[in-house]
Structure 1
Amino acid sequence: MSTDSARSAEPTSEQEKTDFGFTQVDKSEKVAMVADVFHSVAAKYDVMNDLMSLGIHRLWKRYTIDCSGVKAGQRVLDLAGGTGDLAAKFSRIVGKTGQVVLADINHSMLMVGKEKLTNMGIVGNIDYVQANAENLPFPDNHFDLITIAFGLRNVTDKSAALASMFRVLKPGGRLLVLEFSKPTSEALSKVYDTYSFHVLPKMGQLVANDADSYRYLAESIRMHPDQETLEQMMKDVGFEQTSYHNLTGGIVALHRGFKF
């Protein structure tokens, strides 16, 4: 994956720059650059998730489901839903009278998710929408639950995305943000850094023939706000009763917030 295009156009002000991993790029270019990453990894995304996390990502997602409080007949938005792990579970919970929207900005990921869930026999109460989290194409006060798992760190304007989620959430509804975060132990942090920057890109090269994309993914984790910062960002756009729960020593955290 090349970042030459990121260097070709120099931003005119600091406000127009954002991070793409450890590199500063023009905000207008980040969406396309992230899209290139996920176009590249879509076909091997599930395999790599299992390998990278030793299958633990399934436990993180199960915990998210357990914290969702979702009921039959409700509307759920699985944002940045990728290959549909959460959407599949929610589809079964909400049943025929409910609705699940699997939304992702990346068409390749969305199509992999649609094919996967269709092959699982999950049809009828699930819709697939290509959407930018910063400007969601849904009515105000529409969803009972919104989840975004391992997607927020790739969003250019995270505050705008959180505000958009708040807008489309019903009063009484909840947001769950499952995302890589900051390890709580210095020793764990050092081991995690070694794994992320030395093992992960090699694994990406061997399995997905793409070391650069997985190097970016490791860098994007380090640039993501820590637990307290993200919780404050949620409060700033209106979420109440916010909290977070560290998983696997803070390598991942589940943030929760409500709209009242």
Structure 2
Amino acid sequence: MNFTLTQGKFYDKHPVFLPWSQVLIKHNLKLLYRLKEIYIKKDLDKLGMKKGSSVLEVGSGQGIFLNRLSSYYNVIALGVDVSDDSIKYANKYCSDNNLKFIKASATNLPFKDKNFDTIVSFDTMEHVKNQNKMLSEIIRVLKQNGKFLVYTLNSKDDFTLDWFWAKIGFDIYKRAMHKRELFVDSHKMINDLKDMGIKSLKINYYGGLFTIGFDEILMVFLLVLGKLGLFKYDLLGEVIFYVLDKLSRIIYPAFNYLDSFWYKKGYSLGFSVSGTKE
């Protein structure tokens, strides 16, 4: 079984955990329930997506985040993923007149050249063996003067919280079928994009000790609520997400500042690279 097919089968059985997905869809990106969402939202705002413009997400999973994105920015969006079950779920629960999903590989996008105004990808590149091919495909189908944003895991994650977990023997990567050898070197990625002719590039690190700690405590809390069968109560989700949104917005600046001591050395759990095809 090839690597792409293996990834697809894994996420057929183990979709990304998202609590109260319909509540998240209802409030799109006006409601951000953890620190990583605030970080991603800040990067998205900088892309300047215009109403009615075309957006592609590479590795859209079950489509919940792309639904929130397309609704918030009022764009026409398309998501691609290698998981059959994720695409079926996305088309059943997340699609609408301005949002569709198809099965496709990140290294073989079934679109003509210069087709999209904006391309985004989150937590996907670290699952792809031929990462240069994925980047070249993104650049190929991006329109001239179009913008892209790619978030992935950092190979230089020394002294982050998940690095400490790994050191004491807790395999935090296996849960999402992560392979450390596929974690991305941020400087190599920048150089590869420059070799592809991309000049306007920005890098932004996320996740040291404090931000990851908050997000992981939060996810454990939500997992417990799920085990208790509470996700069927949407009103409870509304209340919890409202509180978490307010709390996350308050503490994000301080926690991200504390983690900046990692970022200055290029250490982080993940990073995003954005750029313009000129």
The TM-score, its normalising length taken from structure 1, stands at 0.70
Contact 1:175 1:258 survives alignment (8 Å): yes
Aligned residues: 207
Residue 187 of structure 1 and its aligned partner are, at CA, apart by 6.0
Counterpart of 2:114, as a letter, is: N
Q: Hey, what does 1:168 align to over in structure 2?
A: 141
Contact 2:128 2:182 survives alignment (8 Å): no
SS in 1 for 2:136: helix
Q: Hey, what does 1:223 align to over in structure 2?
A: 182
* Larger RCO (CA within 8 A; separation ≥ 6): 2
SS in 2 for 1:198: coil
* Unaligned residue ranges in structure 2 (runs of 5+): 20-32, 209-267
Structure 1 Cα separation of the partners of residues 100 and 47 of structure 2: 19
Residue 251 of structure 1 and its aligned partner are, at CA, apart by 1.0
Q: Hey, what does 1:67 align to over in structure 2?
A: 46
Greater strand share, 1 or 2? 1
Structure 2 Cα separation of the partners of residues 251 and 140 of structure 1: 33
Q: Percent identity?
A: 18
Residue 221 of structure 1 and its aligned partner are, at CA, apart by 4.5
* Unaligned residue ranges in structure 1 (runs of 5+): 6-28, 48-53, 202-212
Structure 2 Cα separation of the partners of residues 258 and 198 of structure 1: 39
Cα-Cα RMSD: 2.7
2:179 is the alignment partner of 1:200: no
Given candidates 171, 175, 180, the residue that maps to 1:214 is 175
Structure 1 Cα separation of the partners of residues 92 and 39 of structure 2: 23
Residue 193 of structure 1 and its aligned partner are, at CA, apart by 2.6
Q: After TM superposition, list the pairs within 5 Å mapping 1:1-260 onto structure 2.
A: 29-42=2-15, 45-47=17-19, 55-95=34-74, 98-118=75-95, 123-182=96-155, 186=159, 188=161, 190-194=163-167, 198=170, 200=172, 214=175, 216-217=177-178, 220-221=179-180, 223-249=182-208, 250-260=268-278
The TM-score, its normalising length taken from structure 2, stands at 0.66
Contact 1:149 1:178 survives alignment (8 Å): yes
| Residues 1:61 and 1:115: Cα distance change in structure 2 (over 3 Å) | farther
Contact 2:82 2:104 survives alignment (8 Å): yes
Structure 2 Cα separation of the partners of residues 167 and 184 of structure 1: 30
